[in-house]
Amino acid sequence: MLRFFTRILPGIIICLTLLAGQASAAAGESILLQKDTDLHPQGWSVGKFIKFKKDSVAVLNQTGEVISGTLDKNTFLQPRGWNRVINDYYYTTVRTDIGPFLHRYYHPFISREYNVTIPGYGHLLYKGGAAVTFSEQGDVLSGTLADKATIRLGDNKYGFVTFKSNTLLEFYPSGAVKTGVLEEDTYLRPVNWRLLTGEEHSAGYIKFSKGRQLSFNEDGEVLTGAIKDKATLPAKDGSQQIFPAGSTIDFAEVCIIPPKQAKTD
């Protein structure tokens, strides 16, 4: 028996070493950027650089491509759910200076500013100074919006939701929205919405509060979110439970996380 283990021990060590190397590669290598640094995101087929912020940590894969990092400035990037994004136009100001040479010490100039629009083409404007995470296909799984974004919530279904600027937006690998913060109060269906009956619930739709984070399943149904108005919802024991306006609800469990500002009757 001892001779048998002696023979197979080198093979076991080699296998464990290979597995450890694969795990390390999958986890990525974290580096502290000493200066604003141009790097390639993972999954891109064209060698274009993105600048990442000084004194931030970037996570690289085994080929030196960025898995996640902090953007140096506002940057247009394609999100994982790019085919669900409304092709909005982004507005920016372009400045031009006209400075004719009339004297070696005197340079009069005319400053002109123009407001221009830039088509999105399925891209979103992500905020500089905030972290982004890239999928293996090169699009963004999570990042902070620098401008509001309107996205189709359900796959092959009509219905669009606008998410607030300066907030985190996350996607599932499938391209469905995972989490986001509403730009405006919005009627949405929660998971288990078919359990909601009566005119009060309006075909299973509930109004959710703007400025509060929601999480969704891949069908676009709300898993957790803050309700705008008071609601009566079914509990697991079959009773009806009253939730005050502003409550954050886990609809998969029909349990409540009372908000600090909520007032009970």
Residue 12 lies inside a defined structural domain of this protein: no
Residue 28 lies inside a defined structural domain of this protein: no
Residue 138 lies inside a defined structural domain of this protein: yes
Residue 4 lies inside a defined structural domain of this protein: no
- CA nearest neighbour of 179 among 136, 212, 138: 212
105: left (phi over 0), alpha (psi -120 to 50) or beta: alpha
Cβ(33)–Cβ(58) below 8 Å:
yes
The pTM score is 0.75
Summarised one tens digit per residue, pLDDT across range 206-254 is 999 999 999 999 999 999 999 999 988 887 777 788 889 999 999 887 6
Residue 184 lies inside a defined structural domain of this protein: yes
Residue 202 lies inside a defined structural domain of this protein: yes
Number of domains the chain contains:
1
Q: Higher pLDDT residue, 14 or 97? A: 97
Looking at residues 30-50, what average pLDDT do you find? 93
Distance CA 150, CA 85 (A): 6
Looking at residues 153-165, what average pLDDT do you find? 89
| Residues of the domain holding 231 | 72-257
Summarised one tens digit per residue, pLDDT across range 41-81 is 999 988 889 999 999 999 999 999 999 999 999 999 999 98
pLDDT of 5 above 90: no
Q: Higher pLDDT residue, 169 or 110? A: 169
- The single residue listed with the structure tokens 């093979």 is 11
The DSSP string of 157-183 is S--EEEE-TTSEEEE-TTS-EEEEEBS
Residue 49 lies inside a defined structural domain of this protein: no
Residue 76 lies inside a defined structural domain of this protein: yes
